[in-house]
Chain A
């Protein structure tokens, strides 16, 4: 099985842009789609990006996803940061019949 590695934490100011990375340990990042979930304090996860770069209805276009084959990684970019974006973010992918989450990144907006 593969692992997904994320930075433990990132911080940025309101109005700025932040990017969170997610690196796949083995196998190609393009083998299976990558998803991103937001988990606010005390809340359940909600999906913000699916299939690498698609946004569910209701997710603002400030959220975008991308894939970088050269680094075997996926990224979540949030532009025009708002205080309400402060949360934990998890990447997720799968391989055959196993679903894998990254360790999570705590985003602080200060």
Chain B
């Protein structure tokens, strides 16, 4: 059974930093690209960042480029999202999700971890 479990979400001040983690199980991580998607309170889904199967390729939404960094450690079955210079508009529920084999869709999702950026 595929499982994704996010952690690391907390209350942080504007300008602060945070690292989210996503522990995966039930599949071979090195065979799938992985992504982070966020959802502001009461709002829709927003793609944030994607990392390729080996970790060598990364892609970012314009809204987070230069501030967020996605990475993975396949030996630890874990995906990461390092966030710096956090803003109020970064507040939301952060989901990790597995890409389908052709990268077009997200076939499994975690339950999310809540990041709140506020003073």
Which residues from chain A sit less than 8 Å from chain B, CB to CB? 32-33, 35, 37, 39, 44-47, 50-51, 56, 88, 90, 92-94, 97-104
Contact with A along B95-119 (1 / 0, CB 8 A): 1000010011111011110000000
- Residues on B lying within 8 angstroms of A by beta carbon are 35, 37, 44-47, 50, 59, 61, 95, 100, 103-107, 109-112
A88 to B43 Cα, complex, angstroms: 11
Interchain pairs with CB closer than 8 A, number: 57
Question: How far, in angstroms, from A92 to B44 measured CA to CA in the complex?
Answer: 12
Binding site of A, secondary structure by majority: helix, strand, loop or mixed?
strand
- Residues on A with C-beta less than 8 A from B103 are 94
**Closest chain B residue, CB of each to CB of A50:** B105
CB of B107 within 8 A of CB of A50, answer yes
Q: Please give me the residue from chain B that is nearest to A33 by CB atom.
A: B104
Residues of A within 8 A of B35 (CB): 99
